[in-house]
Amino acid sequence: DTGVSQDPRHKITKRGQNVTFRCDPISEHNRLYWYRQTLGQGPEFLTYFQNEAQLEKSRLLSDRFSAERPKGSFSTLEIQRTEQGDSAMYLCASSPPWREANYEQYFGPGTRLTVT
C-alpha cells in the first residue's frame, strides 16, 4: 500500500479554464475528504464522501466546484471557469471505516493549482 496519491502534483492554468484533479485513496478506506490550503493557512474542509455518497459539502464549495467518487474508489474534483482566487493546494485524505477511536486521516501530497 503506497498511501494516498494525487494527480497531478502541479497544475498551471489560465483563468476561465476548467481543471480536474484525481485522488486515489488507500484501498479499503471508505471515507474520503477534500481540503483546500492557501499559503500560510491551515487546510479548510471542502467535501466528504462515504463510499460513493457525497455526505457533506462546505460553503466554500461554490457552484463552480464539483466532486465525484464513482464506485466508492478514486475521487475527482473539478473546478470550472477557474479564478485567480482558486489558486491553492488541494489536499485529499482518506480514512478506514468508522469505529471507536478511529479518527486518523491519511493525507496525499496535494495538487498545487496556480491560476494565471
Which residues lie near another protein (CB under 8 A)? 4, 31, 33, 35, 40-45, 48, 50, 55-56, 91, 93, 95, 98, 100-101, 103-105, 107-110
Whole-number minimum distance, CB 50 to another protein, in Å?
Answer: 8
Looking at the Cβ atoms of 19 and 92, the one nearer to another protein is 92
Q: Which residues pair with 88 in a beta bridge?
A: 113
Looking at the Cβ atoms of 70 and 103, the one nearer to another protein is 103
Peptide bond connecting 8 to the previous residue in cis, omega within 30 degrees of 0: yes
Looking at the Cβ atoms of 14 and 39, the one nearer to another protein is 39
Whole-number minimum distance, CB 8 to another protein, in Å?
Answer: 15
The C-alpha cell at 105 is 486521516
Cα–Cα distance, 106 to 17 (Å, whole number): 30
Give CA 81 to chain center in angstroms.
18
Cα–Cα distance, 7 to 111 (Å, whole number): 7
Whole-number minimum distance, CB 40 to another protein, in Å?
Answer: 7
